[in-house]
Amino acid sequence: MSKPTAPHIEPYTGPAGGWGSAKSVSEITLRERLPFQGPRVLATQNKPEGFMCVSCAWAKPAKAHPLEFCENGAKATAWEITSKRASPAFFAKHPLGELEQWEDHDLEEQGRLTHPMRWDAASDKYVPVPWREAFDEIGRELRALDPRQVDFYTSGRASLETSYMYQLFARMYGSNNMPDSSNMCHESSSVALPESIGAAVGTAILSDFENTDCIFYIGQNVGTSSPRLLHDLQDAVDRGVKIVTFNLLRERGLERFINPQSPVQMVTGKETRISSQYYQVNNGGDIAALFGVCKALIEADDALKASGSTQVAGDDGLPRDPENAAMFAFAASIASADKKHVLDHDFIKEHTAGFEEFAQAARTHRWEDLERVSGLNREQMMEAAATYARSDAVLTIYGMGLTQHLMGVQNVHMVCNLALLRGNIGKPGANICAVRGHSNVQGQRTVGITEKPGLVPLDKLSELYGFVPPDWTGRSTVETCEAIISGESRGFISLGGNFLKAVPETGAMEEGWRKLRLTVQIATKLNRSHVLHGQIAYLLPCLGRIELDQQASGPQSVSIESSIAHFHGSRGKTRPASPELLSEPAIVAGIAKATLGDTKVPWDAWVGNYAEVRDAIERTYPETFKDFNKRLFKPGGFARPLPARERKWVTRSGKANFITPEKLFPELSTAQSIDVLHLATLRSNDQFNTTIYGYSDRFRGVNGTRKIVFLNPVDIERLGFTDGDSVDIVTAIDEATERRVTGMKIVAYQIPKGCCGSYFPETNPLFPTAHHDPKSKTPSYKLLPVRLRQSSPAA
Ligand SMILES: Nc1nc2c(c(=O)[nH]1)N[C@H]1C(S)=C(S)[C@@H](COP(=O)(O)OP(=O)(O)OC[C@H]3O[C@@H](n4cnc5c(=O)[nH]c(N)nc54)[C@H](O)[C@@H]3O)O[C@H]1N2
Ligand SMILES: Nc1nc2c(c(=O)[nH]1)N[C@H]1C(S)=C(S)[C@@H](COP(=O)(O)OP(=O)(O)OC[C@H]3O[C@@H](n4cnc5c(=O)[nH]c(N)nc54)[C@H](O)[C@@H]3O)O[C@H]1N2
Ligand SMILES: [Mo]
């Protein structure tokens, strides 16, 4: 087992990328014992005929760089093609009671799973089982359960083909309980964007980066979570594009970058400055901050309008409203060429609804309140507004800093409101880019992974496959958690992921999990959701996307959808980790056949040739997937139709809607007390979600440990602690149940006062399941009221 080195915390002075990145890649290729194979495989990553990276969902350009990968993509690849194996010999040595004590890193670090395994109660071990037997027993068990008692989870990596087959199987079985990782991630976008602009996903595409004048970059950590996007930002900055960032922290990737694939930059050490304006907002302060920007724009526009009636000429000959000289001067400095307006009134009139109500709300909010809640001052908000107004085309990019909030949906509405003020949707260079997480999380929803039957063409499925799909609303992730805790859920099937670590309330969840009748895990690597298990438990190992997938008709390709709504084929070439592995489509089909018996679905033919699954997807969604097989390997991918890009608003009003957030900040059911801090949970640069590659968060200067809490030095002193103290974090809402994580080291950090930060998934025991956005049900992972307590010496 690899152990973390001694904790070592020291500010990192280097840029994102650069030699630090190159070193980190070579370390992991050596550690996973891949010195020769690694580089060869990486060369085909994100290339038109190669495999699509298994890390994030960022766009794959038509003209790929010779090395179209990043530090974290390289780590994800090395982690998947590792030469290490968690074989039956490993499981024979370690009972699950023992493995429960292991760290996440150590479980996955055992390497790839090699054989289908069944939990043996007598020895408390996973023992090998033939595939046939596994499918038969799972089928028997599922038939004995009420479909409403079974949950079918999907983590965002599985391909479009697998996902389509999986949702079809769940529906034919009779369940819409399809929680997915998206429920914890961009669900706030999936709810808010259709309401605001009638788009199910972000509207930006790669060419917008070439046409934009300004990028508003909100709550997304590009240097760690989607480093290839840094190349697009770098190109934009080189063209003179302004980047205006709103983030809780000063993230290095948003400050400066050296492209590790640019020999000139690497040798000369010349950095690109990324953000031109950087605003550190309070946790959950974005509605207030964006309201401030909108207020400045709207009041400037008002001032110009008012000057029409009460104008006096200034020294420059321009009209003046003497009542409001300062605002007028600001307005004049940012106005259109004719000095008549700041907002795009033609666009607002023709394309939007709800403007007056929104504008009135912006005028009514007082600057003092906007300043207090956002943590920014009025000048900063006006400065951001000025940059916004001086740009013809503004692109807005955002991530989890906006979506994982009690007001996540309203955060996204606010992004749209700002965009609509100047027609910044549906013209080149101006759109909304929701940076997605898992490499196919967006695509899974496109082919039917959802608990909401209204989002799926049920009539089509019924017509094609001759069954009556369930029409009730199924459980999303937090509802599945509640059903597992209450004992209502009896069976849990998992297509990838690590549900038990990723969800809220992990303490109560672990207890409920053990009481499940059936747990089935389709996975590549061992994690905590496998070592804890139900009464009947299977661990079914599958091929990864990088591996050669050989079926009856020959080697197979799969497909995914990127963050910019382009579909791409992906072909794996490396030798499978074990000859026993089955592909995900083959496992889904195996379970489906054993559960459902004879159906109209040609499961075997589909497994033999995935092109036939793609034909079925095209029959189900003819517009989106027109000529799917023909276009599979189109360089740059093929685009999904996005009406909002064409300014066609598929909303109830037929217009793009200004939707006014009810409040600036959520009401928290916590006693207002000065020792309460607002916790945001963060990813380190050395993890992919619950997969912990190692113990170094290079950009934030944290090494050798993940058990830390970032705190403002003023708060450290105010609360009577010292930098380096060991503390427990205790949840400060719903305190009838104590939720606590112990032994966290205080790290003095540049984080706004009253806020604190700590890593996911270590902090997940702190989150009550009910602490989520009421509409999207996305857990509020970026805002939880907590207190710190001195750790007892035993901790
Ligand atoms: N290497 C790596 N890549 C990944 C992942 C990974 O774990 N590791 N995970 C993948 C997945 S599934 C996802 S969803 C994405 C996640 O990628 P991101 O969307 O970048 O999510 P996070 O890293 O959780 O945090 C985002 C940022 O929000 C900021 N923030 C926190 N609270 C607030 C707030 O209230 N307001 C504002 N404005 N900012 C705030 C944080 O400082 C942080 O910089 O990345 C994907 N890519
Ligand atoms: N506190 C807090 N909690 C969070 C978040 C947060 O920011 N803060 N972020 C949330 C977000 S955005 C997300 S997306 C979720 C992530 O939640 P999940 O998607 O459930 O978790 P992952 O860690 O991505 O899953 C890792 C596991 O996936 C399996 N796996 C990897 N590749 C494959 C494959 O090709 N096929 C199959 N079948 N299995 C594979 C491996 O066994 C690995 O152990 O976590 C959420 N939880
Ligand atoms: Mo995610």
Q: Supply the DSSP string of 693-736, one letter for each residue.
A: --SEEGGGTEES-S-EEEE-HHHHHHTT--TT-EEEEEE-SSTT
Nearest to 181 by CA among 435, 438, 408: 438
**Alpha-carbon distance values, 791 to 315, 764, 788, 794 (Å):** 66, 18, 9, 8
Measured distance between the N- and C-terminal CA atoms of the chain, rounded to whole angstroms = 23
- Alpha carbon of 597 to ligand 3 centroid (Å): 35
Q: At what angle do helices 286-307 and 378-389 cross, to 10 degrees?
A: 70
Q: What are phi and psi of 526, to 5 degrees?
A: -75, 135
User: Cα 785–509–449 angle (5° rounding)?
Assistant: 95
- Alpha carbon of 684 to ligand 1 centroid (Å): 9
The per-residue pLDDT for 606 is 98
Contact 485, 508 (CB under 8 A): yes
Contact 223, 252 (CB under 8 A): yes
Residue 291 structure tokens: 């309201």
Whether the per-residue pLDDT at 645 is higher than 80: the answer is yes
Whether the per-residue pLDDT at 318 is higher than 60: the answer is no
Contact 395, 430 (CB under 8 A): yes
**What is the C-alpha separation between 668 and 406, in angstroms, rounded?**
9
pLDDT tens track for 583-641: 999 999 999 999 999 999 999 999 999 999 999 999 999 999 999 999 999 999 999 99
Contact 728, 743 (CB under 8 A): yes
Tell me which residue has its CA closest to atom 2 in ligand 2: 760
**What is the C-alpha separation between 248 and 219, in angstroms, rounded?**
7
CB atoms within 10 A of CB 65: 14
Which ligand sits closest to the CA of 766?
2
Mapped onto helix, strand or coil, the DSSP state of residue 51 is strand
The per-residue pLDDT for 795 is 43
**What is the C-alpha separation between 202 and 566, in angstroms, rounded?**
11
Tell me which residue has its CA closest to atom 10 in ligand 1: 437
- Average pLDDT score over residue span 239-244: 97
Cis-peptide into 194, omega within 30 deg: no
Residue 691 structure tokens: 């997969």
Whether the per-residue pLDDT at 2 is higher than 60: the answer is no
The arrangement of strands across the sheet holding 536-541 comes to 125-128, 117-120, 536-541, 518-523, 491-495, 150-154
Residue 63 structure tokens: 């003209």
Tell me which residue has its CA closest to atom 45 in ligand 2: 502
- Average pLDDT score over residue span 439-451: 96
Contact 302, 412 (CB under 8 A): no
Of 157-171, 266-280, 435-449, least confident by mean pLDDT is: 266-280
- Position 15 confidence tier, pLDDT thresholds 50, 70, 90: confident
The minimum-distance atom of ligand 1 relative to the CA of 760 is 24
Q: For ligand 1, say whether the CB of 16 is within 6 Å of any of its atoms.
A: no
> To test ligand 1's pocket by mutation, which of 274, 683, 712 has the most ligand atoms within 8 angstroms of CB?
683
> To test ligand 1's pocket by mutation, which of 77, 155, 221, 780 has the most ligand atoms within 8 angstroms of CB?
221
CB atoms within 10 A of CB 123: 12
Mapped onto helix, strand or coil, the DSSP state of residue 281 is coil
For residue 455, with 0-12 CB atoms within 10 Å meaning exposed, 13-18 middle and 19 or more buried, which class applies?
Answer: middle
The per-residue pLDDT for 222 is 94
Q: For ligand 1, say whether the CB of 290 is within 6 Å of any of its atoms.
A: no
Tell me which residue has its CA closest to atom 22 in ligand 2: 497
pLDDT tens track for 190-229: 999 999 999 999 999 999 999 999 999 999 999 999 999 9
Which ligand sits closest to the CA of 495?
2
**What is the C-alpha separation between 695 and 597, in angstroms, rounded?**
48
> To test ligand 2's pocket by mutation, which of 184, 187, 778, 786 has the most ligand atoms within 8 angstroms of CB?
184
The per-residue pLDDT for 582 is 98
CB-based pocket (< 6 A), ligand 2: 108, 155-157, 181, 184-185, 400, 404, 437-438, 495-499, 502, 522-525, 527, 542, 544-545, 584, 681, 689-691, 760-761, 763-764, 781
Mapped onto helix, strand or coil, the DSSP state of residue 153 is strand
- Compute the mean pLDDT over every residue in the chain, rounded to the nearest whole number: 93
Contact 425, 644 (CB under 8 A): yes
Tell me which residue has its CA closest to atom 12 in ligand 1: 437
The minimum-distance atom of ligand 2 relative to the CA of 545 is 35
Phi/psi zone of residue 201: left (φ > 0), alpha (ψ -120 to 50 degrees), beta?
beta
- Alpha carbon of 366 to ligand 1 centroid (Å): 30
The minimum-distance atom of ligand 1 relative to the CA of 254 is 44
The per-residue pLDDT for 317 is 54
**Ion ligand 3, residue ranges at CB < 5 A:** 185, 437
**Alpha-carbon distance values, 203 to 184, 413, 646, 760 (Å):** 21, 14, 10, 29
Q: For ligand 1, say whether the CB of 281 is within 6 Å of any of its atoms.
A: yes
- Average pLDDT score over residue span 536-556: 97
**Alpha-carbon distance values, 673 to 248, 676, 678, 723, 724 (Å):** 22, 6, 12, 22, 24
- Average pLDDT score over residue span 465-493: 98
**What is the C-alpha separation between 110 and 547, in angstroms, rounded?**
19
Of 369-373, 395-399, 633-637, least confident by mean pLDDT is: 633-637
- Average pLDDT score over residue span 399-404: 98
Which ligand sits closest to the CA of 502?
2
| Better-predicted residue by pLDDT, 392 or 316 | 392
| Better-predicted residue by pLDDT, 340 or 92 | 92
Torsion of CA 643, 184, 454, 412, to 10 degrees: -40
| Contacts for 25-31: CB closer than 8 Å, 24+ residues apart | 25/71, 25/74, 25/75, 25/78, 28/74, 28/75, 28/78, 28/79, 28/693, 28/694, 29/74, 29/78, 31/2, 31/78
- Average pLDDT score over residue span 363-370: 97
**What is the C-alpha separation between 386 and 770, in angstroms, rounded?**
39
Contact 284, 783 (CB under 8 A): yes
Which ligand sits closest to the CA of 690?
2
**What is the C-alpha separation between 515 and 535, in angstroms, rounded?**
7
Largest distance between two CA atoms of the chain: 91
Tell me which residue has its CA closest to atom 20 in ligand 2: 497
The per-residue pLDDT for 737 is 95
**What is the C-alpha separation between 720 and 701, in angstroms, rounded?**
24
- Alpha carbon of 125 to ligand 3 centroid (Å): 31
How many helices (H) does the chain have, and how many strands (E)? 33, 36
Of 224-228, 297-301, 477-481, least confident by mean pLDDT is: 224-228
**What is the C-alpha separation between 533 and 539, in angstroms, rounded?**
10
Q: What are phi and psi of 678, to 5 degrees?
A: -105, 110
- Average pLDDT score over residue span 693-702: 92
Whether the per-residue pLDDT at 646 is higher than 70: the answer is yes
The per-residue pLDDT for 323 is 60
The per-residue pLDDT for 320 is 56
Please count the CA atoms within 13 angstroms of the CA of 156 that sit on its side-chain side.
28
- Average pLDDT score over residue span 573-580: 96
Nearest to 655 by CA among 234, 197, 308: 197
pLDDT tens track for 25-43: 878 778 888 776 777 788 8
The minimum-distance atom of ligand 1 relative to the CA of 689 is 7
**What is the C-alpha separation between 561 and 65, in angstroms, rounded?**
20
Please count the CA atoms within 13 angstroms of the CA of 568 that sit on its side-chain side.
32
Cis-peptide into 761, omega within 30 deg: yes
Contact 523, 496 (CB under 8 A): yes
Residue 693 structure tokens: 């590659």
- Alpha carbon of 405 to ligand 2 centroid (Å): 19
For residue 466, give the amino acid letter. G
**Alpha-carbon distance values, 256 to 149, 172, 230, 274 (Å):** 50, 51, 10, 5
Q: At what angle do helices 71-81 and 18-31 cross, to 10 degrees?
A: 0
Which ligand sits closest to the CA of 220?
1
Q: For ligand 1, say whether the CB of 399 is within 6 Å of any of its atoms.
A: yes
Whether the per-residue pLDDT at 459 is higher than 90: the answer is yes
CA 177, chain centre distance (Å): 21
CA 68, chain centre distance (Å): 21
Whether the per-residue pLDDT at 321 is higher than 60: the answer is no
CB atoms within 10 A of CB 46: 24
Question: Sign of the C-alpha dihedral, residues 274, 278, 281, 284?
Answer: negative
- Average pLDDT score over residue span 124-148: 98
> To test ligand 2's pocket by mutation, which of 166, 187, 498 has the most ligand atoms within 8 angstroms of CB?
498
- Average pLDDT score over residue span 717-736: 96
**What is the C-alpha separation between 86 and 111, in angstroms, rounded?**
5
The per-residue pLDDT for 686 is 93
The per-residue pLDDT for 420 is 98
Q: What are phi and psi of 486, to 5 degrees?
A: -80, -10
The minimum-distance atom of ligand 2 relative to the CA of 525 is 42
The per-residue pLDDT for 310 is 47
- Alpha carbon of 685 to ligand 1 centroid (Å): 11
| Better-predicted residue by pLDDT, 328 or 179 | 179
- pTM, two decimals, is 0.96
- Alpha carbon of 185 to ligand 1 centroid (Å): 10
Whether the per-residue pLDDT at 324 is higher than 90: the answer is no
**What is the C-alpha separation between 57 and 442, in angstroms, rounded?**
8
The per-residue pLDDT for 11 is 82
> To test ligand 2's pocket by mutation, which of 84, 108, 109, 181 has the most ligand atoms within 8 angstroms of CB?
181
**What is the C-alpha separation between 662 and 649, in angstroms, rounded?**
23
Q: Residues, the chain, total?
A: 795
CB atoms within 10 A of CB 535: 14
Which ligand sits closest to the CA of 184?
2
Cα Rg for the chain, rounded, in angstroms? 26
Mapped onto helix, strand or coil, the DSSP state of residue 116 is coil
